[in-house]
Structure 1
């Protein structure tokens, strides 16, 4: 395993290159990242890809343009969603933030075809063009917009574009009713009856009709790694943010309209969800042990709905004291919802403390940066378990597009092997960075002040993950280091290749003073370490550091 570092360097190029449904995009310099945030044409006009919740894929843009031309009214724009219930949530979100109450919803169904693929329903929300930014907020925060592969499928079925061989439609690649699971060495363990896919042997893609089997395989693969968990406790979602949003929707229905607590500095849209959907949030952005006293003070003053946290946090890699938080949750009757994306289920086990775990499967679980996915996992030992199960039974809609499930299943077969390799590479990179006098601070679970909290949840064979953040001695050094570093550069993390970004600039450009008050330096560089040969990786980082001397 491992490959040479040959990152794309052209502004706006998909990461990986030549990948129609890539989930990252090349922003090769600090200047280009700033220009992207400021909407400068020399960057924005070259964007052929982007992180899907922020950048509407060209196929989805084409589908919406077709709907606008055919069914729209003057001054309207269209947004596409996979179900009527999601479209209604978007409509309600827009109505709550505007004076426009006449927002149209239109549902279309693709025609029957000769390939055995059942008709697909697509739902358009038509809003005045002036309200487009509000629709985009809903799209970004919740991740509930349609997948680019679904958009492409609908374009073909509605005869907007010619059909291609790009879809997972090679029926001859499936041999028989049984699948032979291609997995790596332990700890991925699945039963002998576990069905799997064989299309990789023949260099073909599997028939899209077997999406249900792909989803079942994903549920089994995930549940096999988690104690107190069965296949039925795993709920699949099209994005990690959708998983978090769905957990939030569920607890709101279960326990009523009360504020939650966001403990620690989280990924930007987790906080957006808690702020914009429901009664609001208490934000304890430092997430230190001392802040747990504030959690208890809040619980004494008011009913708390749930506590949301990341383990470890992105980008500061802090691990909260879950044991103490669990004790408070039991005492004051609130739920703990943990996002374990950065740590991942192979490295850490939070189920002794969390009632619900939400994860982005887009990241290291997939690794290939060509498909989105997420999951919610319920803890069967939780006092909230039966209420979450009952609520999700009627709230849950399976909106994972079948083709995406097939890619996700295929990508994740060697999850354990890749995770182990990434853990080792990241430790080597951290060792180098910590020795450098040019690096003022390294953020990493193994070296953080909260290391003992991480160790308490670390699995027997787990490591510390592939995410590292650093602050160099000054802004000029940070820019030179980043511009020189020969890795892929753009949004996302957990990719099979090393991926770097100036995180605060990319995620918080409009609120740099605010994030710095919680320890996120405006010149912080976030590094997601990949599978490259360790020696080559070290050389690349040594070279980038050398220009800062």
Structure 2
């Protein structure tokens, strides 16, 4: 799904005409700033957005119906896939609220199960857990949604609407009529689903008796249905979901060295952030005697990784540069007697592309008894082998593994040679819930079949882009694993057939050149990375607008431009980038 004609319309989904797009068009520097500042000329045009930050229209629609049906006065809601996840949201809100006493309620609903084998191709029993809270606490609820990444999938919301919307609308009408003294005959409001703290699920009757196809939820978008049929040759069949998940686990395990991983040690999550959040929950609870110890965030990470380590558990030691000197400082701290729960790092980091010395970290972990969690999203397991030096490897499958920018997912892999393996596996056996929505699994399985080949193309294209920037007089700094001071540490974990991946960041000598380059480059512009098409963004503005001075301390320049290199023909891609560089050069000379 390469973007042959990238949209330049503010708020349009990336890719174009994609109902469940992961990225969104912010075509100019000014529009990106406007979005971060909440300016109407940008915000009101947003049709889409990165799903953990921008709640999808289908999720909003479902939430509004649930609020009209079940909310008490002054309440809003958030929707999660299971009761256990909803309880975590509730616990977070109660721990962080400024209210003297916060009342949070949880409602559970399910759609009807399939009646027979024929229905199993288009119907599943879908569960949701709805968290109701005072409207004033919505920003706090949104924090959990963003940081933990465990919110309901937009496809699950769409499916739930297709199964339950009619019933919810009828219940709303009845409530209004009943409130206004109207007469609807002998009809009774369906039994109110269970609300409270118990583990019982309320089974809502749903709207049964209607025949459907799996494309029914997408029927309002015939072009998209046509695309799916043309691409995959047939309609999606929900009965294949179990097999799709099995194939995904095998595909992910197959990228790891066999002596460290197997498919039964791969766990799927609805987002990459959820895999990181659950990895933290894993070490926090499986190594419970260490729960009062801080963790270490080593290297400047993606924003919500640091948020998780700050807001859950005992806190965090932050070594933002992630270099040899930082590791020396950490070792000095450990030698002085400080104990830690776990070290979290990215390999390499986003957006600075710094690779930690995983071999030395591994030795320190064995010496000072702490767990190591590595996020290999940017390097991706077709290029690097991080698992031998980690207890847990997490990855955002939304990125290169999928490539199509139309599905969210994450994975966690346990290292069976980890010193903590028995305890980690026991916890996952007892506590893991498969919250990965069935339709998302089918999309991801199909998207990822050729991910190694796509990764190789991105690797080659990135080297050509690197040379272009190295030859440009406008560029001050380039951040890429092969030209980083930490190259030797990347090479230490790089597979023989691997490359340096597709993510690159640059800083222009003159900030006005960065703005001109970004505004004129004829490529997709928005959040996310790892897409099959090249995706560009002013990263610090987009991810750290409220803390630009703070991130500057860690080398993240406010004018940094990040490029996720895609699969366009190399000469075409270089020509487009050169055109934008030339434009910036011309402006600079005026």
TM-score between the two structures when normalised by the length of structure 2: 0.86
SS at match of 2:45: coil
- For residues 37-63 of structure 1, the C-alpha deviation after alignment (integer angstroms, 9 at most, x for no partner) is 000111111111100000000000000
Structure 2 stretches of 5 or more lacking a match? 170-209, 220-227, 586-590
1:253-292 to structure 2, matched below 5 A, reads 253-255=285-287, 256-257=290-291, 258-292=293-327
- For residues 138-181 of structure 1, the C-alpha deviation after alignment (integer angstroms, 9 at most, x for no partner) is 000010000000000111110349977636999xxxxxxxxxxx
Note if 1:548 corresponds to 2:584. Answer: yes
Note if 1:148 corresponds to 2:154. Answer: yes
Alignment partners' CA distance in 1, 2:230 and 2:247:
16
**Contact persistence 2:535–2:566 (CA under 8 A):** yes
Alignment partners' CA distance in 2, 1:168 and 1:13:
21
1:50-199 to structure 2, matched below 5 A, reads 50-98=49-97, 99=99, 100-112=101-113, 115-116=119-120, 117-160=123-166, 166=215
256, 262, 267: which is aligned to 1:235? 267
Alignment partners' CA distance in 2, 1:201 and 1:131:
43
Note if 1:203 corresponds to 2:239. Answer: no
**Contact persistence 1:355–1:385 (CA under 8 A):** yes
Note if 1:444 corresponds to 2:476. Answer: no
1:262-411 to structure 2, matched below 5 A, reads 262-299=297-334, 300-411=336-447
Q: How far is the alpha carbon of 1:469 from its aligned partner?
A: 0.2
**Contact persistence 2:112–2:125 (CA under 8 A):** yes
Query: Could you tell me which residue of structure 1 aligns to residue 243 of structure 2?
Result: 213
Q: How far is the alpha carbon of 1:200 from its aligned partner?
A: 7.2
Alignment partners' CA distance in 2, 1:452 and 1:482:
31
Q: How far is the alpha carbon of 1:4 from its aligned partner?
A: 6.7
Note if 1:464 corresponds to 2:470. Answer: no
Alignment partners' CA distance in 2, 1:454 and 1:87:
39
Alignment partners' CA distance in 2, 1:91 and 1:429:
46
**Contact persistence 1:141–1:273 (CA under 8 A):** yes
Query: Could you tell me which residue of structure 2 aligns to residue 475 of structure 1?
Result: 511
Give the greater-gyration-radius structure (CA): 2
Q: How far is the alpha carbon of 1:101 from its aligned partner?
A: 2.5
Alignment partners' CA distance in 2, 1:367 and 1:224:
18
Structure 1, 296-305 or 502-511: larger mean CA deviation: 296-305
539, 551, 555: which is aligned to 1:515? 551
Alignment partners' CA distance in 2, 1:4 and 1:237:
27
SS at match of 1:245: helix
SS at match of 1:308: strand
**Contact persistence 2:8–2:27 (CA under 8 A):** yes
* CA RMSD, 1 decimal: 1.8
TM-score between the two structures when normalised by the length of structure 1: 0.92
Alignment partners' CA distance in 1, 2:235 and 2:400:
22
**Shift in alpha-carbon separation, 1:461–1:167, aligned structure 2, 3 A:** farther
Structure 1, 313-322 or 385-394: larger mean CA deviation: 385-394
Query: Could you tell me which residue of structure 1 aligns to residue 278 of structure 2?
Result: 246
**Contact persistence 1:250–1:395 (CA under 8 A):** no
- For residues 9-53 of structure 1, the C-alpha deviation after alignment (integer angstroms, 9 at most, x for no partner) is 100000001000000000000000000000011111111110000
Alignment partners' CA distance in 2, 1:483 and 1:131:
37
**Shift in alpha-carbon separation, 1:159–1:3, aligned structure 2, 3 A:** closer
- For residues 115-149 of structure 1, the C-alpha deviation after alignment (integer angstroms, 9 at most, x for no partner) is 23232211100011110000100000010000000
**Shift in alpha-carbon separation, 1:485–1:202, aligned structure 2, 3 A:** closer
**Contact persistence 1:168–1:208 (CA under 8 A):** no
Query: Could you tell me which residue of structure 1 aligns to residue 200 of structure 2?
Result: none
Alignment partners' CA distance in 2, 1:167 and 1:354:
44
SS at match of 1:365: coil
**Contact persistence 1:467–1:528 (CA under 8 A):** yes
Query: Could you tell me which residue of structure 2 aligns to residue 183 of structure 1?
Result: none
**Shift in alpha-carbon separation, 1:407–1:449, aligned structure 2, 3 A:** same
Q: How far is the alpha carbon of 1:297 from its aligned partner?
A: 2.4
**Contact persistence 2:404–2:531 (CA under 8 A):** yes
**Shift in alpha-carbon separation, 1:118–1:3, aligned structure 2, 3 A:** closer
- For residues 397-451 of structure 1, the C-alpha deviation after alignment (integer angstroms, 9 at most, x for no partner) is 0000000000000000010110100000000001100111100011000011111
Alignment partners' CA distance in 2, 1:368 and 1:200:
15
